[in-house]
Structure 1
């Protein structure tokens, strides 16, 4: 089981590293929140890539948060018995090294459609593949469609500090720029790229999905 967790973490680190590199974000990141963190691998990947002092994983699904906490504890337990420099996978070794700096890592239930239990002082808020499902009503929220996306973005804009950034990563099938402008978010950079998604048996290589990343700041 631990071996499978390491494999998935390594793949997630690759994806998050690509998202961050494509955004061109270069400012120091001390506090980062992962909104829509799911099982928590993206949150732990942000910790690894950014070497942040505080990372926060947020999801409206309490089962996902429980899984994220369990995954973190399992990986932490392994880190106590494996020296970072001895791990063959560079990405996982980087995760162990990040853990050794004693960062604050937490997961809790929060809702970007109500603003419940969300921070308001983050250097970076990362949100991957969340807006499109909200638009399509995949999360069984009380609202969906364009109105729900607009509400989510206006709430997300309040989670970052005045000099902070919001990084949104979505499949390229839908254009979210009009929503961002209406939410008074300035698009600092837009990046387009492709990659194979992560499946149950590793990365899918037969076809690639097109993604778009929006790096935003407050107007």
Structure 2
């Protein structure tokens, strides 16, 4: 009809999974930059381009949203590390190097994710600290397996006990976490440089241990 206004096209409705991903992406940014307590659902909704009621409809509460953030980012990190060390035909040192490179690259390329996992999740108590601890346990298990394999192959590795392996894996993962945070906060430090630093520090010492050359206090 002449002069009649044409109806505006309806906005395309996004699938729920896409909408949730947008919300969690926005939450990662807000939690990393403001902390769990200071981050607001209003800010998260605005950053995601949705209404606050929609965030509550999809993710129920701020606590559940933060838990979803930790789980998703932890699984992403675990996934890249697991994929990097999957080649069991490679020597243990090369697999460890690949795993460290994957770890530091993830932290460098996803600084907000790493800030949530390394700081925010661990300082807010349960259930968040438990989620972060499970991620750390899985990474430590990867490293423990690699050190154990290296001990089996080394001429002097028979003297390394299971307790030694577990302790070394804990020390290595703790060092990696600390170094990744430092690297992200220090201009010019690349993921490769951070990985090489830890590899030189750790594997050189492990090499001596595999030859039964142990340091002991005088």
Query: Of Structure 1 and Structure 2, which has the larger fraction of its residues in helix?
Result: 2
TM-score, with length taken from structure 2: 0.27
**Greater strand share, 1 or 2?**
1
Q: Which of the two has higher C-alpha Rg? A: 2
TM-score calculated relative to the size of structure 1? 0.27
